[in-house]
Chains A and B, each alone.
Chain A
Amino acid sequence: MKRPAPRLITSSPPHLLMPLAALALVLLYDALTIPGFFHVEMRDGHLFGSLVDILNRGAPVLLLALGMTLVLSTGGVDLSVGAVMAITGAMAAGLIARPEGFVLAGLDLHGSAPAIVAVSLVAGLAAGLFNGALVAFADVQPIVATLILMVAGRGVAQLLTAGQIITFEHPGFQFLGSGFVAGLPFPVTVAVAMFLVTAALSRGTALGLFVEAVGDNPTASRFAGVNARMVKLLVYGFCGLCAGIAGLIGTADIKAADANNAGLYMELDAILAAAIGGTSLSGGRFYLSGTLVGALLLQTLTTTILTKGVPPVLTLVVKAAVVVAVCLLQSPKFRSVAGRRFRREAT
């Protein structure tokens, strides 16, 4: 049962108001307490500064969150994105640093960066389609279905890296993590491009409408003739692809594949970014612009904590609090209780 949201949250533009206000607050705090926080300078034709850093670090979270937003909107969730990041990262690193095994398997890319990226992304897409098949065709609950890959995915990644942290040097591939395009870090460019692609994919076709319809009322969508299985398969596949791109950026950035820690707990950041942006965790409407703001807010929080010299692990505690806060704000039961109390105090 959906209740009308309290006015505070629904006034227009409904989904962006709260996260934008929160983002502004955090930025204001930074401006007041961290000297030079807003300082951006040009060095060798590249932009540097805390803000650029936030964009750069926030890119992988945003990438994950884009796919996650669509998945959440269908009423599902993908817990495996972190593991999928590890898989694609390990795949790329393996192809660069230890191509012998792949060559034996008939895969000889001659160290070509585009080919390595393409092959790794196919792996990410395949992982997403695997999740999608379980959810759409085997009717497994999304949490459970994606849990499988969350468990086994890191094993697969370790298998690819033979359990070691593979380091590599490959200027072409490293560009993905540390290159610059038009003064901006390349990850930012990729994230912006994927944001546009996601928007085009969901709003330029009927996919967005179908996703929202399936998540909001599955039965009504079925009766209207929406092919829910196909929609879910596509969306999980896309989520896997997004996670794959994020994994490649992460790997290229540190010039190494760490199967154990790549993307660890990133699934929560992705879910949080989407939820902060107003996408319902129980399915229905999704807001890509909200997800963008949500991802930026999360990264700004993290960067703030890091810059303030507070122990970085405090971000974990802060995020725990944000999760609960966002959940409570979305909970109809909490809203009705809080609303009642508010009204009682007002009278």
Chain B
Amino acid sequence: MRGIRRAFPGVVALDGVDFTLRSGEVHALMGENGAGKSTLVKVLTGVHPRDAGEVRLNGSLIHPASPQDAQALGISTVYQEVNLIPGLSVAENIMLGRLPRRWGRIDWGAVNRRAEVAMGRLGLDLDVTQPVGSCSIAIQQMTAIARALDVQAKALILDEPTSSLDAQEAQNLFSVIRKLRDEGLGIVFITHFLGQVYDIADRITVLRNGKLVGEYETASLPRLELVARMMGRDPDEVAALESARPADAAKAEERKPFLSVRGLGRRGSIRPFDLDVAQGEVVGLAGLLGSGRTEAARLLFGADRAETGSVTAGGRSGAPGSCREAIAWGLGFCPEDRKAEGIVPNLSVRENIALALQARRGVLRRLSRKQQTEIADRYIRELNIVTPDAETPIRSLSGGNQQKALLARWLAADPRLLILDEPTRGIDVGAKFEVAKAIEELRAAGMAILFISSELEEVVRSCGRVAVLRDREKIGELAGPDVSAQGIMATIAGSQPKGSTEAEVRL
């Protein structure tokens, strides 16, 4: 692929990206959220047309117009969410759409035989007539791969194939990938797990903000450098980076602890972790995308039910069984996916801001229209929310202003601990600054804040303490002077920076 460009209204998702996949190699495609990985894959597989650039397969130009088209050309994809039909058999899931027929009816014998051959190629011997829904995720993954390979595939794209697998299952998958590689297939491997990249990939292409950062041999790219590249830093710069520290960061011990988490965890979500947040403290959760940041927040807030561990907050302890319970404990949560989980699109800015406070007051103690308008107007002013008026449906606001309205929703409800999951994602610089300012003011006013962000500068600037996550577990905690972009990246990459608080690392 040469000079690929793809723009969506308002955004250039890919800008002049080159990507080369050789046969017989495993090529990792790396980048943070919004880097353009999925857009690149979608251009390659014909989901999106490209605006500029060319795609060549074995030297000849190709123009796949649909995933089926791409598949016919020999480019197959296995998506992150396994796209299978749970009620149908393994064999059928592999063969559906090209079921062999005899005298007009489906030849089930041939279906099952061919499916067994296809699974056999992946080194699996199992009953292909069982429903795929009753198989483990690992087997489902294999089924999806077998489906992708059944046609004469030349290139196989695996989009986060290991995100739901445990270590052993991932290793099994890797041995299959190696086998396919040795058969001459070119494999694109997308993952957020750094360790796995070094296990399996021959080469690495890093994207950031829709641009190509570079293409590297895995062996010649140290982990720290990879992390720096993904986060958009020059590794030499990182060493020289002066981190601006909140003046009172070291005084955490003096503050009254508010939240205390012990051994909170859930299978397939995040391994048990400990965390403390004091009043008037901003604690960061840092890690790459998919490292378990959001999962940790969801467990805390009762959005997912924890399987182990407990939370102590506001004098109560246990594991919150629902969001309402967590809110009653004094927690608030601004979710990462603003559109799907944050805004109520067709309701007005006023109603969106009043919602959490109203929910807290209950059905009967209704905030009058006047009270709602007062609250909404106040936050529109304070947070500088750009909207024609408080009665505008929130869906017509820009992303940054939606985000500020969501922040206002929680400020109005006055929680004692606020969890902010990527509050600055996809908003412009001005709005980012305002969000950061609001966080600092809240902290100063005594609120406890758990801050999740992919932007290292923001984490470093806002947080007195940072818990670092990788591959769905908490791997360390940095405090005081150790909170620096370099320290975080080094922790993620696996080496210990100077003076790291090893004692706090609990695995």
A220 within 8 A of B: yes
- How many whole Å from A342's CB to the nearest CB in chain B? 21
Contact with B along A231-268 (1 / 0, CB 8 A): 10010000000000000000000000000000000000
Residues of A within 8 A of B396 (CB): 4
Number of interface residues of B (CB under 8 A): 33
B359 within 8 A of A: yes
Please state if B343 and A226 are interface contacts (CB–CB under 8 Å): no
Number of interface residues of A (CB under 8 A): 26
Q: Known interface pairs A206-B362, A210-B363. Does A223 touch B346 (Cβ–Cβ under 8 Å)?
A: no
Which of these, B342, B343, B346, B356, contacts A225 with CB under 8 Å? B356
A108 within 8 A of B: no
CB closest chain-A residue, reference B343: A220
A213 to B346, CA, bound (A): 9
A205 to B361, CA, bound (A): 11
> Which residues between 357 and 377 of chain B lie within 8 Å of chain A, taking CB atoms?
358-367
Which of these, A204, A205, A210, A219, contacts B359 with CB under 8 Å? A210
A246 to B467, CA, bound (A): 60
- How many whole Å from A204's CB to the nearest CB in chain B? 7
A43 within 8 A of B: no
- How many whole Å from A117's CB to the nearest CB in chain B? 26
B187 within 8 A of A: no
Residues of B within 8 A of A224 (CB): 355-356, 359, 409
Residues of B within 8 A of A204 (CB): 366
CB closest chain-B residue, reference A221: B344
B179 within 8 A of A: no
Q: Known interface pairs A206-B366, A224-B409. Does A217 touch B343 (Cβ–Cβ under 8 Å)?
A: yes
Residues of A within 8 A of B333 (CB): 223
B347 within 8 A of A: yes
- How many whole Å from B344's CB to the nearest CB in chain A? 5
B351 within 8 A of A: yes
Residues of A within 8 A of B248 (CB): none
CB closest chain-A residue, reference B334: A223
A285 within 8 A of B: yes
A300 to B342, CA, bound (A): 42
Please state if B323 and A284 are interface contacts (CB–CB under 8 Å): no
A53 within 8 A of B: no
> Which residues between 1 and 57 of chain A lie within 8 Å of chain B, taking CB atoms?
2, 4
Please state if A225 and B344 are interface contacts (CB–CB under 8 Å): no
- How many whole Å from B376's CB to the nearest CB in chain A? 13
Please state if A2 and B362 are interface contacts (CB–CB under 8 Å): no
Residues of B within 8 A of A206 (CB): 358-359, 361-367
Please state if B361 and A223 are interface contacts (CB–CB under 8 Å): no
Please state if A285 and B366 are interface contacts (CB–CB under 8 Å): no
A209 to B346, CA, bound (A): 12
B354 within 8 A of A: yes
Which of these, A209, A216, A219, A285, contacts B341 with CB under 8 Å? A219
A227 to B413, CA, bound (A): 15
Q: Known interface pairs A2-B395, A223-B341. Does A216 touch B356 (Cβ–Cβ under 8 Å)?
A: no
Residues of B within 8 A of A225 (CB): 323-324, 327, 356, 359-360, 413
Best-surrounded residue of B344, B346, B362, B364 (most CB of chain A within 10 A): B344
Which of these, A220, A230, A231, contacts B344 with CB under 8 Å? A220
- How many whole Å from B454's CB to the nearest CB in chain A? 21
Please state if A217 and B358 are interface contacts (CB–CB under 8 Å): no
A34 to B221, CA, bound (A): 87
CB closest chain-B residue, reference A234: B363
- How many whole Å from B294's CB to the nearest CB in chain A? 12
CB closest chain-A residue, reference B327: A225
B303 within 8 A of A: yes
Please state if A222 and B346 are interface contacts (CB–CB under 8 Å): no
Please state if A2 and B324 are interface contacts (CB–CB under 8 Å): no
A4 to B365, CA, bound (A): 33
Please state if B342 and A220 are interface contacts (CB–CB under 8 Å): yes
- How many whole Å from B169's CB to the nearest CB in chain A? 29
A207 within 8 A of B: yes
Residues of A within 8 A of B362 (CB): 206
B340 within 8 A of A: yes
- How many whole Å from A211's CB to the nearest CB in chain B? 10
A212 within 8 A of B: yes
Residues of B within 8 A of A285 (CB): 346-347
Residues of A within 8 A of B324 (CB): 225, 227
Residues of B within 8 A of A217 (CB): 340-341, 343-345
B287 within 8 A of A: no
A209 to B360, CA, bound (A): 13
B335 within 8 A of A: yes
> Which residues between 379 and 402 of chain B lie within 8 Å of chain A, taking CB atoms?
395-396
> Which residues between 184 and 208 of chain A lie within 8 Å of chain B, taking CB atoms?
204-207
Which B residues fall within an 8 A CB radius of A?
Answer: 301, 303, 323-324, 327, 333, 335, 340-347, 351, 354-356, 358-367, 395-396, 409, 413
Q: Could you pull out 13 A-B pairs where Cβ atoms are within 8 angstroms?
A: A206-B358, A206-B359, A206-B365, A209-B347, A210-B359, A213-B351, A216-B346, A217-B341, A217-B344, A220-B342, A223-B333, A226-B359, A227-B324
17 additional contacts, CB 8 Å, given A205-B363, A212-B344? A205-B366, A206-B363, A206-B365, A206-B366, A210-B358, A210-B359, A216-B346, A216-B347, A217-B341, A217-B343, A221-B344, A223-B303, A223-B335, A224-B359, A224-B409, A225-B324, A234-B363
Please list the 4 inter-chain residue pairs (A to B) with the smallest Cβ-Cβ separation, ordered nearest first: A225-B359, A225-B327, A224-B356, A206-B366
